[in-house]
Structure 1
Amino acid sequence: MCYSAQIQADYRKYQRQFGASVSLELFVELFWERRRRGDWSKLPKAMLAPFASPEGEAEQRAAELITAAEREQTTALEAELFQQKTRLAGAERALATKPTKKAQNDQRIATDKIQRAQRNLADLHRSELLPRDSRVFPGYYAPVLVVRDGQLTVIPMRYQCRLPGWTAAMERQKPGTYNARKDNLKKAWRQLYGYQHGILIVNAFYENVTRHRLEHRELAPGEKEENVVLEFRPEPQQDMLVACLWSVSKGEEGEADLYSFAAITDEPPEEVSAAGHDRCIVPIKPEHVPAWLQPDARNLAAVDAILDDRNQPYYEHRLAA
């Protein structure tokens, strides 16, 4: 499965490359919804960056929501810092007079939380983008290219697809729907395959593998499995147009509609399999993008052929930082 990916998070890249329009009203709805929930963590910093220089009313509204949310986050983080510094000072006073396990735990926990809050504050106010600012995990949001009302459009969507007819409770029971297995597209994904296709621009992807499989050996007697995360990048470096399926679920009263997507995965090429992983994303060729985004559900053989005639770069791998 595609555990996470480094994406092209700037919607303007889609505009330049595909001549697509951007659903700015859905960006505004998303930002409003995440601010209302008090959860800004699922929005990659690189996806917010284009709004630093807004053009037009919609972008200005989005920029105002981002500024307000960042101000609220700053206030919350500064309050957390004050609280944990007070806790740390109390623990250190206790340890100086009569060491206790509680004081030791308070010292350790407060120190960890202070460091985390300081990192988050630094990230919040940092203007220079880093590679990790474009990395998405299940539950995060990303710009996805689709055809809506006959027009190429970029829509912000959650990376974990809520299938048609599902509720939030049903989704929690099956949390793996951020990937759509190619051998299951005409079964579990039949309501979307051939109907609602998208493209996500990906630069690299990350997978969980066990160390002994990576090292091509059996577990030693008494050895426990150890998980490591590998970064896979295409060689030569390139943007990959990853095939996706998407859905939209009606929001409850007072809530925005949920746009969500899944990346299609298939059996891996030899170099990914040799690194210990059994799935791989499916990058499609640029010449297939129009047909992929406007599929004919009556001719799934033609849609299958697009996935089979995929772009096949060689994937270099390394331990993720």
Structure 2
Amino acid sequence: MCYSAEIKADYKLFVRIYGAVISIKRFTELFWEKREDGGWTKIPKAMRDAFRQPESEQGFELAKLVAEADREQGVAYQAELDAQAERLGKAEQVLAGPRPTRKAADDQRIATNKIKAARRSLDDLLRREPETKDSRIYPGNYAPVMIVKDGQRVVVPMRYQCRLPGWNEKTERQYPGTYNARRDNLEKTWGKLFGHRHGIMIVTRFYENVSRHKMEGRELAPGEKEENVVLEFDPQPPQDMLVACLWNLSPGGDHGTDLFSFAAITDEPPPEVIAAGHDRCIVPIKPEYLDAWLNPDPDDLAGLYRIFDDRARPYYEHRLAA
């Protein structure tokens, strides 16, 4: 499973290297929707920041939208800071008095943690120097995905968790793992998309949940509880990986705006990923197969599998994620 990935959100790269156009209309629709429904933080900071320097009239409107929504988010973080500071002050007064209570102790602990979280969020929002975490996505977040529409490569923002054809919001809650599409299940669960709706997400590294004892290449000790760790996998040499994806369009979505969503295809991992304790891996395709992948022939699924078999095969170094 590709539980998290660091994406490329440099739209000029899609245009310059891959000849794609940016769906400004769809980005604008998404940004408006997430501003209104409270999901602004589902859009990675790197995606938002990429539009701060507009190059067209449409881009100017989008840059204005990003600035306004970020400002509103900042106001919300500051309100949280103020509310929790007041909560903390009241709790500390009670704890310093003659009758400290368990509730005051809980309030002190919770308020302290929430103040730290809100301060981190506000600092990140206001920061202009980019950091790697700005480009990191998780299931439910949005990422730029390159597809082909009417013969033209187009970059569309899509949710990283695919809503399969015929599903609604209630259905997908029963199957939360649809951010990954297993190769051995492509013609079953994913049969309406495989061979029909293909995309590419550009990834620089990915992250996986792994059991510590598996990472260390040993069995659990008697009485030892299983412990989860997050590993960061970096391709060597460092490179932009063209990760094979499947996508879908759900007209109307949940809020009246069309929902574009996608999943990354995964396959059996290379030896170094197995040795690190994980049993799946994303599928980066070679640049020479980009057109064949983005313009699939549903009558030649064997040809698509050959693209997987002749995939790019960097060596994945791993380390504990920060």
Could you give the per-residue CA deviations for residues 149-174 of structure 1, whole angstroms, max 9, x where no partner exists? 11100000000010111111100000
**CA positional deviation for 1:52:** 1.0
1:288 maps to amino acid: Y
**CA positional deviation for 1:65:** 1.5
Partner of 1:41, secondary structure, is: helix
1:65 maps to amino acid: L
Q: Distance in 2 between matches of 1:299 and 1:84?
A: 59
Could you give the per-residue CA deviations for residues 67-90 of structure 1, whole angstroms, max 9, x where no partner exists? 121121111111111111111111
Could you give the per-residue CA deviations for residues 181-234 of structure 1, whole angstroms, max 9, x where no partner exists? 001111111100111101111110000010111111111111100000000011
Question: Does the CA contact (< 8 Å) of 2:23 and 2:155 recur in 1?
Answer: yes
Q: Which segment drifts farther, 56-65 or 158-167?
A: 56-65
1:21 matched residue in structure 2: 21
Cα separation, partners in 2 of 1:294 and 1:252, compared to 1, 3 Å: closer
Question: Does the CA contact (< 8 Å) of 2:52 and 2:66 recur in 1?
Answer: no
Question: Does the CA contact (< 8 Å) of 1:232 and 1:317 recur in 2?
Answer: yes
Partner of 2:42, secondary structure, is: coil
1:2 matched residue in structure 2: 2
2:150 matched residue in structure 1: 149
TM-score (norm 1): 0.98
Question: Does the CA contact (< 8 Å) of 2:229 and 2:320 recur in 1?
Answer: yes
Q: Percent identity?
A: 62
Q: Distance in 1 between matches of 2:38 and 2:210?
A: 33
1:228 matched residue in structure 2: 229
Q: Distance in 1 between matches of 2:242 and 2:204?
A: 9
Q: Which segment drifts farther, 186-195 or 50-59?
A: 50-59
Q: Distance in 2 between matches of 1:95 and 1:282?
A: 56
Give the RMSD, CA atoms, in angstroms: 1.0
**CA positional deviation for 1:177:** 0.5
Could you give the per-residue CA deviations for residues 221-264 of structure 1, whole angstroms, max 9, x where no partner exists? 11100000000011111111000001000115862100011000
Q: Which segment drifts farther, 257-266 or 44-53?
A: 44-53
Q: Distance in 1 between matches of 2:11 and 2:190?
A: 27
Q: Distance in 2 between matches of 1:56 and 1:11?
A: 14
Q: Does 1:12 align with 2:12?
A: yes
1:308 maps to amino acid: D
Q: Distance in 1 between matches of 2:83 and 2:44?
A: 27
Q: Distance in 1 between matches of 2:254 and 2:14?
A: 32
Q: Distance in 1 between matches of 2:10 and 2:213?
A: 38
**CA positional deviation for 1:51:** 1.1
Partner of 1:54, secondary structure, is: coil
1:255 maps to amino acid: G
Partner of 2:284, secondary structure, is: coil
Partner of 2:61, secondary structure, is: helix
Could you give the per-residue CA deviations for residues 122-142 of structure 1, whole angstroms, max 9, x where no partner exists? 111101110000000000100
Runs of 4+ in 1 over 4 A off after TM superposition: none
Q: Distance in 2 between matches of 1:117 and 1:85?
A: 11
Q: Which segment drifts farther, 53-62 or 288-297?
A: 53-62
Q: Distance in 2 between matches of 1:93 and 1:148?
A: 62
Alignment of structure 1 residues 131-146 onto 2, 5 Å:
131-146=132-147
1:230 maps to amino acid: L
1:150 maps to amino acid: G
Question: Does the CA contact (< 8 Å) of 1:248 and 1:257 recur in 2?
Answer: yes
Alignment of structure 1 residues 120-269 onto 2, 5 Å:
120-251=121-252, 255-269=256-270
Q: Which segment drifts farther, 90-99 or 287-296?
A: 90-99
Q: Does 1:40 align with 2:40?
A: yes
Cα separation, partners in 2 of 1:117 and 1:182, compared to 1, 3 Å: same
1:185 maps to amino acid: L
Q: Distance in 2 between matches of 1:188 and 1:320?
A: 32
Question: Does the CA contact (< 8 Å) of 1:33 and 1:255 recur in 2?
Answer: no
Partner of 2:16, secondary structure, is: helix
Partner of 2:223, secondary structure, is: coil
Question: Does the CA contact (< 8 Å) of 2:9 and 2:50 recur in 1?
Answer: no
1:88 maps to amino acid: L
Partner of 1:114, secondary structure, is: helix
Partner of 1:163, secondary structure, is: coil
TM-score (norm 2): 0.98
1:105 matched residue in structure 2: 106
Question: Does the CA contact (< 8 Å) of 1:48 and 1:66 recur in 2?
Answer: yes
| Gaps in structure 2 of 5+ consecutive residues | none
Q: Distance in 1 between matches of 2:296 and 2:101?
A: 66
Cα separation, partners in 2 of 1:253 and 1:34, compared to 1, 3 Å: closer
1:55 matched residue in structure 2: 55
2:32 maps to amino acid: W
Alignment of structure 1 residues 307-318 onto 2, 5 Å:
307-318=308-319
Q: Distance in 1 between matches of 2:180 and 2:58?
A: 32
**CA positional deviation for 1:38:** 1.6
